[in-house]
Structure 1
Amino acid sequence: MATSLAVIILLGLLANTLFTKLKLPGLLGMLILGVIIGPYVLNWLTPDILNVSADFRKIALIIILLRAGLGISRDELERVGSAAIKLSFVPGLVEGFTIAFVSTRILGFSFIEGGILGFIIAAVSPAVVVPQMLYFTEKGIGTNKGIPTLILAGSSIDDVFAITIFTTFLGLYSGSHVNIGIQLLNIPVSILLGIGLGIIIGLVFVHIFKKYHIRDSKKVLYILGASILLTTLENVLKNRIEIAGLLGVMTIGFIILEKRPEVAKRLAVKFNKIWIFAEILLFVLVGAQVNITVAFNAGLKGLVIIFAGLIGRSIGVIISTLGTNLNWKEKLFCVISYIPKATVQAAIGAIPLSLGVKSGEIILAVAVLSILVTAPLGAIGIKVSAGRLLETEV
């Protein structure tokens, strides 16, 4: 495994540097590298590292969400509050049900199979979106109207809705007794529990940091350890009650910023340094999950379904930003920022096949294709459009 880590780090740094020099997002280079050196192309990575890939990716995602929380102020959040709430579920719902309907026509799916596919695809990728929004925040791009914060907040909850509704459709397919009302009620409960636990953990750390002198490096490790345990608790209790663990992780950072802003700023610098390593692991290992052969099996029909879903998602974003002070350029940027798929699709795309869903192979193929198409498209779109569509504060 050590050798595979060395390969990931060295080639990941090179890919990041090369794509940055080409004026392309560095994460795109790392994603492509992961595809190339992964088990489905060159197979340079050992089974050991692939077995723990999910854990590495989760830790990397935790790091960037903690960093995001440490950069979201209450004033910014209040300014974008209602729009962020709408962005957290409207685009995903419109996209999910659009794909569900279209796949019944194009693939001959039942509506339940279409729903399974729709809500696998409907989850936006925080791994792609969050790092770029943090960069824009630091550079003052779009911050005059809180646009990076708006997208950070909305996209962090988007996955909760998508995964919950995906689970509901999966239960309907298997014939198990699923109370749709209860499942939908689980969404706000999950969000509130995640935020509540994040607030409690954040306040505990605020108290500890006030009472005891602890080096910032150790503070980072304490926070990271507690955040990992929070997401572990989410997994342990998922069959009983859903907890939006990653949202709780972001809340921890938010509470520390709210109560101890001077500490939060120092910790944000530390997390930025850790992210250099975590980013390589996250995107190379996400890329390594992508089976190009499976993606190609989805063919033209798969592309039609994905783009139909993106049209639905775009309509949902526009609906969510109605009544805000955003101009048409800024609304277009929000549409582009909600394109990328990666982490969720890589994590749950194969679940229907493993559970014996008749159309599981096609669902997996379209899920993988969605990563190949939307991750590069969204990453490049966000980077290129930001300077043209958003104002930069001086």
Structure 2
Amino acid sequence: MSRGKRGAFLCPADQQYIYKGSDFLTTLLSVSVALMVGLLMTRAFKPLKLPAVTAYLIAGVLIGPYCLGALGIDGLGFPSGESVAALSLISEVALGFIAFSIGNEFRMEELKKTGKQAFVIGVFQALAATLFVDLALLAVHFIMPDKLTVPQLITLGAIATATAPAATLMVVRQYKAKGPLTNLLLPIVALDDAVGLIVFAVSFGIAKTLVSGQVDLFSIIVNPIVEIFLSLLLGAVMGWVLTQLEKLFNSNTNRLNLTIGAVFLTAAISMIDFHVGPVHVSFSSLLVCMMLGTVFCNICPLSHDLMAGADKWTSPLFATFFVLSGAELELSVFADWAIVVIGIVYILFRCLGKYSGTFVSAKMTKCSPEICKYLGVTLFPQAGVALGMCSIAMQLGAEGTLIRNITLFAVLIYEVFGPVMTRQALTAAGDITPIPHEVKMRRHTKLAEAKERKTK
């Protein structure tokens, strides 16, 4: 293939010019508009004191297929779900860095203080959410048997375990939350992914058995164990490799570039998916990148500085990720009354399960009254992991479509209101403190300093 005029390639087969620039232009414009609209939306919602993640999600809805995207103007918004999905690379990388940051919360000195509590609460609240949703949807099944089947309710109960690590981490970062509740929250959110994978694999295996009449022990037992074990092993190996490579560089810039490159590489490797006989070999990118961060922060003496540098680099990436998440929200699910009714039941009883499970297990592990009262609220957000589960549920065919739509409805509600409730809970627990006056006046101070330098 030879190059013709700028921005085109000459195809020898038919000697025609194929212009490539317009696709790149549209993609770059779309990403730029997503980031800029998201940032402007945070300013617009500042008087309402909403978390930035909520503003980003609303910005995504604004430029998504149901608002500006419907105009069909290239670069102004996203005209379809497929156009958003085309940028899924950004979401995969962002989730990798989010998991890497959460891995930083598993430092041994902190785990010695909170590890037992985090494990007990993490497992208990996930199982409680499944139990509450299963029982509630079973009642709905008896009332509306033609709208909700047993395989569907079992699968939805398993999806209820999932908590959104991204939204939770963004709220913690934005408000610089620190304290006993935050120290427990992030490890629990990370553990929730592993528990959710196991519960979903078992529940979905049972659901498939009920639909097909065939028992698949590999899907129910072997595959989830293999996925979790290999994910943790791969993350640990990559964390060790990153630590050894870091020793080769003296420059902070080079070490930071190496760290960022390692997260990219780890996220890419975790996408590998193949079969060895009846065993399905796959990885959870969240678990892999979380383990990468966990091993790295515990064996690398310079991990504090490098992870802090990576956090600054990822700020625009996270903002774009949440705007794209908002653009993916499926507003059409509101058109089906059955989805709305079942979705409301799912949302309410998942929240009850999360809160009750957290409250009881926090009491059992002798947590403070503030943690018992407010920790459960911070576990309400739900997004990426749940959407991944419902995409697997599409293997059930027509029954999987209802599961997907109910999950999309729930994610829409959770993503908009969940971060707000997380912020309120962290504030009530005392982990978020008011912004000091000097920080609020930082811009004015810097402008005054710049003006003073000019006059000298």
1:134 and 1:5, CA in 2 relative to 1: closer, same or farther beyond 3 A?
A: closer
Select between 85-94 and 270-279 the one with higher mean Cα deviation.
85-94
Aligned to 1:53: 87
1:230 and 1:210, CA in 2 relative to 1: closer, same or farther beyond 3 A?
A: same
5 Å-filtered alignment, 1:1-394, equals 1-43=27-69, 44-45=77-78, 49-106=83-140, 107-108=144-145, 109-134=148-173, 139-142=177-180, 146-175=183-212, 177-179=214-216, 183-184=220-221, 186-213=223-250, 215-233=254-272, 235-236=273-274, 240-262=280-302, 264-297=303-336, 298-349=339-390, 351-353=392-394, 355-358=396-399, 360-390=400-430
Question: 2 CA distance for matches of 1:388 and 1:261?
Answer: 35
Q: CA RMSD in A?
A: 2.9
Partner-residue secondary structure (3-state), 2:106: coil
Normalising by structure 2, report the TM-score: 0.76
Partner-residue secondary structure (3-state), 1:45: coil
Select between 318-327 and 338-347 the one with higher mean Cα deviation.
318-327
Select between 202-211 and 235-244 the one with higher mean Cα deviation.
235-244
Question: 2 CA distance for matches of 1:188 and 1:346?
Answer: 21
Offset at 1:86?
2.9
Which has more helix, going by share of residues? Answer: 1
Quick check: 1:100–1:118 contact (8 Å CA) kept in 2?
yes
Question: 2 CA distance for matches of 1:294 and 1:156?
Answer: 26
Q: Identical aligned pairs, as a percentage?
A: 20
Question: 2 CA distance for matches of 1:66 and 1:45?
Answer: 29
Deviations 1:213-235 (A, max 9, x none): 461232133212222133213x4
Deviations 1:287-346 (A, max 9, x none): 122111214522234212320222122222223323323123212222011111111333
Deviations 1:158-181 (A, max 9, x none): 442354245424532442744458
State the one-letter code of the partner of 1:311.
L
Quick check: 1:349–1:367 contact (8 Å CA) kept in 2?
yes
State the one-letter code of the partner of 1:80.
T
Partner-residue secondary structure (3-state), 2:68: coil
Select between 116-125 and 166-175 the one with higher mean Cα deviation.
166-175
1:40 and 1:176, CA in 2 relative to 1: closer, same or farther beyond 3 A?
A: farther
Question: 2 CA distance for matches of 1:84 and 1:75?
Answer: 14
Offset at 1:254?
1.9
Number of aligned residue pairs:
388
Question: 2 CA distance for matches of 1:134 and 1:261?
Answer: 23
1:325 and 1:74, CA in 2 relative to 1: closer, same or farther beyond 3 A?
A: same
Question: 2 CA distance for matches of 1:188 and 1:80?
Answer: 25
State the one-letter code of the partner of 1:336.
V
Partner-residue secondary structure (3-state), 1:13: helix
Question: 1 CA distance for matches of 2:270 and 2:355?
Answer: 30
State the one-letter code of the partner of 1:18.
A
Question: 1 CA distance for matches of 2:66 and 2:108?
Answer: 45
Offset at 1:392?
7.1
Normalising by structure 1, report the TM-score: 0.87
State the one-letter code of the partner of 1:193.
L
Quick check: 2:343–2:409 contact (8 Å CA) kept in 1?
yes
The one of the two structures with greater contact order (alpha-carbon pairs below 8 A, sep at least 6) is 1
Question: 1 CA distance for matches of 2:138 and 2:263?
Answer: 44
Question: 2 CA distance for matches of 1:236 and 1:20?
Answer: 47
Question: 1 CA distance for matches of 2:90 and 2:215?
Answer: 33
Deviations 1:68-122 (A, max 9, x none): 2234311112322223223343322222233233223224233222112222333
Question: 2 CA distance for matches of 1:148 and 1:99?
Answer: 22
1:5 and 1:391, CA in 2 relative to 1: closer, same or farther beyond 3 A?
A: closer
Select the structure of larger CA radius of gyration: 2
Question: 2 CA distance for matches of 1:113 and 1:345?
Answer: 14
Question: 1 CA distance for matches of 2:240 and 2:211?
Answer: 42
Offset at 1:29?
1.0
Partner-residue secondary structure (3-state), 2:364: coil
Partner-residue secondary structure (3-state), 2:60: helix
Unaligned runs of 5+ residues in structure 2 are 1-26, 70-76, 434-456
1:64 and 1:21, CA in 2 relative to 1: closer, same or farther beyond 3 A?
A: farther
Deviations 1:36-71 (A, max 9, x none): 221233322156742323332121111122122234
Quick check: 2:51–2:171 contact (8 Å CA) kept in 1?
no
